[in-house]
Amino acid sequence: MITEAQKDLIKGTIPVLRAHGVALTSHFYKRMFTHNPELKHLFNLGNQQNSRQQTALATAVLAYAEHIDNPAALLSAVKHIGQKHASLHIRPEHYQIVGKHLLASIQEVLGEAASTELIEAWKVAYFQLADIMIGVEKQLYNTMVQTEGGWTGWKPFHIVKVVAETAEIQSIYLEPTDGGRLPAYKPGQYVSVRVYLPELHLYQPRQYSLSDASNGRYFRISVKKEVPAGKPQGMVSNYLHEYFEVGKQLELTAPTGSFHLIENALPHVFISGGVGQTPLMAMLEHLADTKAGQPITWIHGCRNNELHAFKNRIQKLQMQHAAMTCFSFYDEPQADSHSFAGWVDLAKIDRAHLPQQANYYLCGPAGFIEKHFQYLTAQGIDPANIHFEEFGPASLQLN
């Protein structure tokens, strides 16, 4: 049990974490991968190269130090991280390895300032948090195996269909190789996909939103090819585009994720940028399947009309749903009167389609989400009704 004196020591490191948190976590990852290279199979190395993972961890460590008196305030964030960990099949033994290298990194980075008492305080604090995370993830694993068709760990699937949605995005349809039924999932959730990359001599996991409604027979993921090729964050996506076709196998973990459709009587407003549309498509397909009658506002932005994935499907759903209104924003001007030029700008949308009482869903890069979150809250929308999914490791602290 952490003592009050130890809490004070933890809080005393807050200024250092604010100023040098990313330097600390960068040192930590380098140290851990040097001593335990087998863990590289669990981490997205693209996010290591662009520093997003180091920044996300630094943000999490700082938040924990700032809330050391009341860790319960972080419960929502803990559950969100737990979902990510469950999708990567993180186990209790991994926390021992991480703890060892994190504590050593604190000592090595702080040098003489890292007293024995401070390291002991962080040791108690870290394993207190680890116990919470392990408990959250155990519940998630139990739910997975108790769900009909559910499983834990990596399960083989074969590709049964590949559809080019645009020149950049293709949908991959996957069925389990054992022929069994698939578990029901909440529209908006994701799976992890594991691919062996010969050039790295490593398995690399990536998380892809399920882009279709739950049906018990197949999963559909819709993957964007990154241009230019070779970008670290696009290695797996590009590999899928280039080498995976009908008949090939992929390993997946069970669906999970805290970003999903809120099923109540309120209208739904979907706002996406680029491939951020994929989890929202699952929500829209679910609403179509259940014949839900609430008003729907669909707002999407991409480079141009030709790169607008699922455009025809959305138009068909709009014809079937009398209360659905769609708005498109294209970076490149189009020769039609049915879209706006430029990036998504909610100020151009009639307020009638952005009601005060509605479920709002944002999906895209961090800057995209932050911009529209701030606009909506400035218009009086309750932040509790604004749900978002950020690409990659979470970095946004919006409230």
137 is catalytic: yes
Task: Using the structure block, give the residue that is written with the tokens 């090595």.
Answer: 108
Torsion sign, CA atoms 390, 276, 358, 284? negative
Instruction: Reply yes or no on whether 165 is catalytic.
Output: no
Q: For 295, what's the count of Cα atoms within 13 Å in the CB-facing half-sphere?
A: 13
Annotated catalytic residue, options 64, 95, 126, 330? 95
- Please, is 14 exposed, middle or buried when counting C-beta atoms within 10 Å of its C-beta (0-12, 13-18, 19+)? middle
Q: What is the DSSP string of 87-122?
A: HTT--HHHHHHHHHHHHHHHHHHHGGG--HHHHHHH
Give whole-number Cα distances, 135 to 62, 92, 119, 138, in Å.
22, 9, 24, 5
Quick count: other Cβ atoms within 10 Å of Cβ 391? 19
Q: Which of 78, 93, 89 is nearest to 43 (CA)?
A: 89
Q: What is the CA radius of gyration of the chain?
A: 22
Question: Contact at 8 Å (CB) between 175 and 157?
Answer: yes
Closest C-alpha to 155, from 254, 42, 240, 88:
254
What residues contact residue 187 under an 8 Å CB cut-off, 6+ apart?
A: 210, 213, 214, 260, 261, 279, 282, 283, 285, 286
- Residues 181-216 as b/e (b if ≥16 CB within 10 A, e otherwise) read ebbebbbbbbbbbbbeeeeeeeebbbbbbbbbbbee
In angstroms, the first-to-last Cα distance of the chain is 31
Please count the other Cβ atoms lying within 10 Å of the Cβ belonging to residue 137. 22
Give DSSP secondary structure letters for 324-351. Answer: EEEEEEESS--SSSSSEESS--GGGS-G
**Across 225-343, where does the E strand assignment appear?**
249-252, 268-273, 296-302, 324-330, 340-341
Do 284 and 272 form a contact (C-beta atoms < 8 A)? no
Active-site entry in 29, 64, 126, 137: 137
Active site residues: 95, 137
